[in-house]
């Protein structure tokens, strides 16, 4: 194949280099006449069906979802392409993925490093991208870690393989990879839908945090044949979460092959994230409506990112109010108790927490927990914690907003905090920030 021809535009795309091969087809690097680099996915004959062609053509006509931020790129079909040398099949042209984006195996093979705060930003962006797909009445249908590419420096994401996006509950769509399929989809009880997307999303997040599959415990280790029947039994017919507190039939059981899985769960997966995995992979296995929602994932990752810190041993981690169940991966010890924690008492029932550590950002989502989508600018920095200039081990909060804040000490004294100025963070004090009451507490007093 030398030239691909755009079915809608008539543009001739010159093939340059084979980039890869998957189950459905081939990815070829190409150039448009104006020099723009693009990629073409060319389907193997099995997948070059009229239905699939119609589906992709509709996606191209609809255009990519509005991500509301350059940090989320949809590698979306632009138009169907044909090739004179292979008239029995077809493909589609899409944007070329920037070289700054890396994949899951770059992470697990340690070709790149991804700090915990950046991992949370990547997860937030991926959840936000899926929310935009769902807002269009569609389901992604084939979520897995191969769909997600990330920039380890910025947390920006590129969402790939969008040709399998279908109308919600459309059974004609691609159901996905067995390991990532929701049990009800793998058993063909329903077609891909928003609830099944939530399961696949959680499996993908689990891989990025744990480097393992949530159902890969001693049952998988006991298998002697890893075929489709075995996968169906493990992932669909008899699924059991490795860390299910009520069912230990598939736990790690001290197996050396699962030691890293167990260690990462204990020391690298923050409790606030663990609870969402527990919800989705226990009750959510059989009750799809109980799976963690996209908006909950957005909130969890926004708050986890803001609470990123470096342990005394130099390990990047996330502070958690549940300090007894959490700590440093490097030393396997609990983190020291925080001297000051900010608790936000906004209009919503949710009460975000922000640990006082040097550089910790006070952001818009702390004041408005409903500010979740990129269009709401949830990561806008309104203030930042700094080391106290005259009292080592203590902290101040600097106002980076355009409004004047107030501080009420435990003795009843009121002080103003003008834009650009700062005040000490003293447990017992209450701050007034953007119409929200913010309580400063010692970690031991959180209750």
- Residue 390 has φ and ψ, to the nearest 5°, of -125, 0
User: Of the candidates 126, 129, 20, 7, which has an alpha carbon nearest to the alpha carbon of residue 56?
Assistant: 7
pLDDT at 322: 84
pLDDT at 308: 94
Region 366-382: what's the mean pLDDT?
95
Region 66-78: what's the mean pLDDT?
93
Percentage of the chain beyond pLDDT 70 is 97
Region 86-111: what's the mean pLDDT?
93
354 has a pLDDT exceeding 80: yes
Q: Using DSSP, state whether 239 is helix, strand or coil.
A: coil
Instruction: Return the domain boundaries, the chain.
Output: 1-96, 99-336, 337-445
Cβ atoms of 41 and 47 within 8 Å: the answer is no
C-alpha dist (Å) from residue 71 to 128, 294, 302, 409: 11, 18, 15, 40
257-299: pLDDT as tens digits:
999 999 999 998 999 999 999 999 999 999 999 999 999 999 9
8-57: pLDDT as tens digits:
999 999 999 999 888 889 999 999 999 999 999 999 998 899 998 999 99
Region 316-337: what's the mean pLDDT?
86
Check the CA dihedral 120-138-42-38 and report its sign: negative
172 has a pLDDT exceeding 70: no
Region 316-321: what's the mean pLDDT?
92
Percentage of the chain beyond pLDDT 90 is 79
Task: Spell out a b/e string for 181-214, using b for 16 or more CB atoms within 10 Å of the CB, else e.
Answer: bbbbbbeeeebbbbbbbbbbbbbbbbbbbbebbb
Cβ atoms of 270 and 326 within 8 Å: the answer is yes
Predicted TM-score (pTM) of this structure: 0.94
Same CATH topology for 99-336 and 337-445: the answer is no
In angstroms, rounded to a whole number, what is the distance separating the alpha carbons of residues 408 and 166?
Answer: 54
Return the CATH fold of 99-336.
Transferase(Phosphotransferase); domain 1 (1.10.510)
Return the axis-axis angle of helices 294-306 and 194-210, rounded to nearest 10°. 30
1 has a pLDDT exceeding 70: no
The pLDDT-based confidence of 170 (bands split at 50, 70, 90) is low
324 has a pLDDT exceeding 80: no
pLDDT at 239: 97
CA 411 from centre of chain = 43
pLDDT at 168: 60
* Radius of gyration of the CA atoms of the chain, in A: 24
The pLDDT-based confidence of 146 (bands split at 50, 70, 90) is confident
Domain 1-96 has CATH 3.30.465.10: no
pLDDT at 433: 97
173 has a pLDDT exceeding 60: no
Task: Work out the mean pLDDT of the chain and round it to a whole number.
Answer: 93
pLDDT at 411: 86
383-438: pLDDT as tens digits:
999 999 999 999 999 999 999 999 999 888 999 999 999 999 999 999 999 999 99
The pLDDT-based confidence of 325 (bands split at 50, 70, 90) is low
Task: Spell out a b/e string for 402-414, using b for 16 or more CB atoms within 10 Å of the CB, else e.
Answer: eeebebeeeeeee
Looking at 3.40.1180.10, 2.60.200.20, 3.40.50.2000, 3.90.25.10, the CATH number of the domain 337-445 comes to 2.60.200.20
167 has a pLDDT exceeding 90: no
Region 289-317: what's the mean pLDDT?
95
């Amino acid at each position: 194949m030398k030239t691909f021809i755009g079915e809608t535009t008539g543009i001739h795309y010159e093939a340059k280099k084979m980039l890869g091969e998957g189950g459905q087809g081939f990815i070829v690097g190409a150039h448009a006449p104006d020099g723009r680099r693009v990629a073409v996915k060319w389907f193997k004959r099995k997948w070059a069906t009229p239905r699939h062609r119609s589906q992709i053509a509709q996606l191209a006509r609809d255009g990519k979802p509005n991500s509301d931020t350059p940090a989320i790129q949809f590698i979306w079909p632009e138009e169907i392409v044909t090739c004179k040398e292979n008239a029995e099949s077809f493909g589609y042209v899409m944007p070329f993925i920037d070289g700054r984006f890396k994949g899951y195996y770059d992470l697990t093979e340690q070709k790149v490093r991804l700090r915990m705060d950046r991992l949370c930003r990547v997860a937030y962006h991926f959840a936000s991208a899926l929310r935009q797909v769902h807002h269009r009445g569609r389901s992604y249908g084939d979520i897995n870690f191969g769909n997600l590419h990330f920039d380890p420096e910025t947390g920006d994401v590129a969402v790939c393989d969008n040709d399998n996006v279908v109308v919600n509950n459309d059974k004609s769509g691609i159901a996905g990879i067995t390991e990532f399929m929701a049990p009800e989809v793998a058993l063909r009880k329903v077609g891909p839908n928003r609830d099944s997307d939530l399961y696949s999303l959680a499996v993908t997040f689990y891989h990025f945090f744990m480097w393992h599959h949530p159902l890969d415990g001693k049952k998988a280790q006991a298998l002697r044949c890893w075929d489709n029947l075995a996968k169906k039994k493990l992932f669909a017919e008899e699924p059991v979460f490795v860390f299910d507190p009520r069912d230990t039939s598939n736990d790690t059981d001290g197996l050396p092959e699962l030691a890293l899985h167990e260690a990462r769960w204990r020391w690298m997966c923050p409790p606030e994230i663990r609870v969402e995995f527990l919800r989705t992979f226990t009750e959510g296995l059989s009750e799809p409506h109980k799976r963690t929602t996209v908006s909950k994932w957005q909130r969890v990752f926004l708050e986890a990112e803001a609470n990123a810190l470096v342990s005394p041993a130099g390990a990047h981690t996330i502070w958690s109010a549940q300090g007894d169940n959490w700590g440093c991966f490097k030393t396997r010890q609990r983190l020291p108790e925080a001297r000051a924690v900010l608790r936000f008492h906004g209009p919503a029932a949710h009460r975000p927490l922000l640990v006082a550590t040097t550089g910790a950002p006070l952001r818009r989502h702390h004041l408005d927990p409903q500010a979740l989508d990129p269009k709401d600018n949830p990561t806008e920095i309104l203030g930042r914690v700094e080391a106290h200039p005259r009292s080592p081990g203590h902290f101040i909060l600097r106002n980076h907003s355009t409004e004047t804040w107030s501080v009420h000490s435990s003795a009843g004294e009121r002080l103003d905090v003008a834009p650009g100025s700062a005040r000490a963070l003293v447990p017992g004090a209450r701050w007034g920030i953007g119409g929200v009451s913010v309580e400063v507490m010692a970690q031991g007093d959180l209750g």
